[in-house]
Structure 1
Amino acid sequence: MNRVLIAEQNPSALTKGALPFVDAYYDIRHNYNNTVASFSISGYSGSLPQTIQNMPEEQIGAVYGEGDGSFALVSYASEKEASTISIPGGLSSSVFIARDKSFVYAANDTTHVVSVIDVANSKSYTLNLPNVYAVSVNPGGSIALLFVRNATQAASASTAGGTSEANFAVYSVVHLTTTQSQEAINNPNWTYTSGSVSNTAQDCEPQNLPVYCIFPVSTGANATFDNPVKALFSSDGSTVTVLNCGKECGGTTSSITTIPLTSSELNTGVTGGEGIALTATATTAIPGGVTNGLYSGNTLYLAGQEEQSDGLFAGNLTVFDTTTSSITGTYSISDGTHNRMVLGDEDTLWIGSSGCIAGERYKQVEAGSSAAYGCLTMFNTSTNAVTLDSYKGDATGIAPVTGLDKVYTAEGGQVYIYNTADMSERNNANVTVSGTAADVAYMDASSDADNTIY
């Protein structure tokens, strides 16, 4: 019961995808006495599995295949594919399922549509949003935020009172009540009004009797968005923190923006998306850069890159105290786009990036430096010590095997194992794959927090 699932692309000439899993206690692909040579999820037929949304508390994993747009739910209990969910709108650039498996939200950056799948009622909807490319969903599926590529949003931007404002960077998917659906018939830009609160939709679908709308997220006088890429949700469900990539993504300033979730901003009496009149209230600059983040109690760990004098970018980890809204430390980490962050044993935080050899560290190595420049970083949250891996390629997956003081990773298309004590490598000869390892997930983790995607 220490299984690590691997998203393997092109395992053979006959198939484009497989989901093998290995024994992470002994670090082997076969059973202990070698009577069974290998194990894999039976029935899986997706093409080029790319990501695993790991939900061990629910005993499932949601696997997205970038080759065919498949979204498969894998049963950890039966070790087979449980079901597949069809996502309209073409290949998705970002997709998530709620923990109760009731709703799936996906963004498509090619066709510029947002997909909402009501799993329980076997219905799906597509809404139009130009340049949408990412979606963030809270675990309960009640808040689904959408992000527009290369977008900024000034302070005091809203559609309140019928004001026309085109430059929005963040939107919210909202499930309408029956009464609201009637009011929005044949009006894709329907305006929601409740007391002094109003907000005008970007799109409502289906237009003859809308079920879902996309509403812009307003900004208050002290809040802005600058190339937002992701949202984090506080454990008590009261706050959303939007990560603004800033200069690393072609903007001006990296920062975090806070959106409080209050009853007046939510659509009551519905399941699924509720954020009908969200307003961001405050933005705090993060000089080290922000492309990813992770909550740990009252501490927010933020990974990103800062532009250097030569025009290249250098990776940084910023430690932010949410109780005082202040930065308590900044540490140099791997360069590149930081897409993976997860906590492991022995007070360690693991950060994975892509494109790390395009940054400042590799330039210094080319000039004769002996500094490490790999795409994987281990940060000790107690001592603030930073350890970088040797370069193996993009770090696309991280799975802490909690309780066993080890971490599995997918780097450069292969599976590696590290000790959390010092980031030393363990023998991975019996867990490597023949194809390309794109992601890894600890199937028997104690919490959904053991996840490389959220």
Structure 2
Amino acid sequence: MLITEQDASAIGSGALPFVDAFYDIRHAYNATTGSFSISGYSGKLPVTIQNMPEQQTGGVYDAAAGSFTLINYAGEKVAGTVAIPGGLSSSIFISRDENYVYAANNSTHVISVVDRVTGGSYALNLPNVNGISVNPGGTIVLAFLANSDDIYSVVHLTTAQQTAAANNPHYQGAEDCEPQNLPQFCVFPVSTGTAKFDRPLKAVFSSDGSSAYVIDCGPECGGSTAGVTVIPITGSVLNQGSEGASGISLAATSFTAIPGGATNGLFSGNTLYIAGQQFQGGSPCSTTPGAPGSGVLMEGCLTVLNTPSNTIGGVYSISDGTHNKMVMGDESTLWIGAAQCQAGVRYQQVQAGVSGIQYGCLTMFNTSTNTVTVDAYKGDATGIAAVLGLNKIYSAEGGQVYIYNTSSMTELDNSNVSVTGTAVDVAYMDAATDSDNTTY
């Protein structure tokens, strides 16, 4: 299990310790002392891990230097560092073939692209860009803006298009093309088509890769209606002949309102689990949520959407807060992590003396029985990793590492995996698939 550990002191530095997730220890199974960490890592504020166990690689973003460090899992050492142009990133991805790195730089208002094949680095101008979503195949790169209903697509141009776009930053309606003298990449607006976007935050991709499901935050982000917008991905919308990002003619086709709110989503087969918040209505996670207003709190909800029929199978009360992490675990469990969970309805109920209420930031949802278990409050749940096959979950909550079993969410002994600094993210390096990590 790989952990991002921060030390924000003037003389301290960050580290990437890893522990044995079978025995839940930091030392060798046949020893009683010792510890292990990724050799060669020197970042000060490691934040997120993009876990790619299929490639035996991890990508760690350092919020102090604004750099992206690649970790060789087999060698347990740094494999290289990618410098990101444009400043600090709010969202960053590397393609599975490790050829391209894409980042949203919200302070400098650019999308950064690093082409590791040619060694080129580019910064595409896009005011208020705040998030990036990339599909597993690396052909779709979507960019999301803060407080906006617009979405943009990054496109790698063909040689012929580069010539046609020379000194024309708005080539074929692009927002920007760079470098302007002979553009390599452009960023194009995504059409609403026959649907709409309502404060879109990110996209999750169907299991067969045929569609992007955009998560529309709606009222939770100052919009009107939370929902899911579908963008088909077919050969006709891709820029034929280019490598990497290719979504040149993307258009939405449908919008489904999600009454429980939408800030994150995770596919399991044809079922899309959507986590979000709604303004408190007459009953927990009502299909007719309340309206925003003075003193109206938000409550966390999980919506189960059957995508073939486009029908909602249920809405369930979960931890409050902004839901940034979702991972499938053993024993038919879905784990959801949130930030600022103490600012919602559950905390208010505890303060009012209601018994039997937990207001922690980590939720376990049993997908077979549709039952919800909420953790006791430990702080923001910033990282979750499923140790598949061993019926356990590792989490980073409130800056520390915790372990739970998947049968009842009972806490396991974490005394041998706790860190001295601040734990922010966790990743299972020996996972079977790259899907054992959903936000990076």
Q: Distance in 2 between matches of 1:321 and 1:292?
A: 16
- Structure 1, 310-319 or 373-382: larger mean CA deviation: 310-319
Alignment of 1:220 onto 2:193: yes
Instruction: Give 1:13 shift.
Output: 6.3
Match 1:369 to one of 354, 362, 367: 354
TM-score (norm 2): 0.95
Q: Distance in 2 between matches of 1:62 and 1:263?
A: 30
Q: Which residue in the other structure is 1:185 paired with?
A: 166
Match 1:265 to one of 227, 237, 251: 237
Q: Which residue in the other structure is 1:428 paired with?
A: 414
Q: Aligned with 1:17: secondary structure?
A: coil
Q: Which amino acid aligns with 1:313?
A: M
Q: Aligned with 1:387: secondary structure?
A: strand
Q: Which amino acid aligns with 1:333?
A: I
Match 2:178 to one of 188, 202, 205: 205
Question: Contact 2:2/2:19 (CA < 8 Å) preserved in 1?
Answer: yes
Q: Distance in 1 between matches of 2:13 and 2:220?
A: 33
Q: Which residue in the other structure is 1:313 paired with?
A: 298
Question: Contact 1:256/1:283 (CA < 8 Å) preserved in 2?
Answer: yes
Alignment of 1:254 onto 2:226: yes
Alignment of 1:331 onto 2:316: yes
Q: Which amino acid aligns with 1:388?
A: V
Q: Distance in 2 between matches of 1:69 and 1:106?
A: 10
Q: Distance in 1 between matches of 2:129 and 2:221?
A: 15
Q: Distance in 2 between matches of 1:70 and 1:78?
A: 21
Question: Contact 1:117/1:124 (CA < 8 Å) preserved in 2?
Answer: yes
Instruction: Give 1:36 shift.
Output: 5.2
Instruction: Give 1:220 shift.
Output: 1.6
Q: Which residue in the other structure is 1:102 paired with?
A: 99
Question: Contact 1:399/1:452 (CA < 8 Å) preserved in 2?
Answer: no
Q: Distance in 2 between matches of 1:382 and 1:179?
A: 53
Q: Distance in 1 between matches of 2:166 and 2:71?
A: 38
Question: Contact 1:12/1:434 (CA < 8 Å) preserved in 2?
Answer: no
1:121-140 matches, within 5 Å, as 121-140=118-137
Match 2:45 to one of 35, 48, 56: 48
Match 1:357 to one of 342, 363, 366: 342
Q: Which residue in the other structure is 1:300 paired with?
A: 272
Question: Contact 2:337/2:362 (CA < 8 Å) preserved in 1?
Answer: yes
Q: Distance in 1 between matches of 2:136 and 2:122?
A: 20
Q: Aligned with 2:249: secondary structure?
A: coil
Instruction: Give 1:238 shift.
Output: 1.1
Q: Distance in 1 between matches of 2:8 and 2:127?
A: 36
Question: Contact 2:8/2:44 (CA < 8 Å) preserved in 1?
Answer: no
TM-score (norm 1): 0.92
1:134-153 matches, within 5 Å, as 134-152=131-149
Q: Distance in 2 between matches of 1:452 and 1:216?
A: 25
Q: Which residue in the other structure is 2:285 paired with?
A: none
Q: Which residue in the other structure is 1:160 paired with?
A: none
Mark the runs of 5 or more structure 1 residues left unpaired by the alignment: 153-168, 192-199
Alignment of 1:346 onto 2:319: no
Deviation per residue, 1:110-164 (Å, 9 max, x gap): 1000001111221111100011000000112111000011112xxxxxxxxxxxx
Q: Aligned with 2:7: secondary structure?
A: strand
Q: Aligned pairs, how many?
A: 426
Q: Distance in 1 between matches of 2:92 and 2:435?
A: 18
Instruction: Give 1:15 shift.
Output: 3.1
1:40-79 matches, within 5 Å, as 40-79=37-76
Q: Which residue in the other structure is 2:207 paired with?
A: 235
Instruction: Give 1:264 shift.
Output: 1.9
Q: Aligned with 1:225: secondary structure?
A: coil
Q: Which residue in the other structure is 2:84 paired with?
A: 87
Q: Which residue in the other structure is 2:381 paired with?
A: 395
Q: Aligned with 2:13: secondary structure?
A: strand
Mark the runs of 5 or more structure 2 residues left unpaired by the alignment: 281-289
Q: Distance in 1 between matches of 2:83 and 2:398?
A: 30
Alignment of 1:414 onto 2:397: no
Q: Which amino acid aligns with 1:351?
A: I
When you count strand as a share of all residues, which structure comes out higher? 1
Question: Contact 1:11/1:434 (CA < 8 Å) preserved in 2?
Answer: no
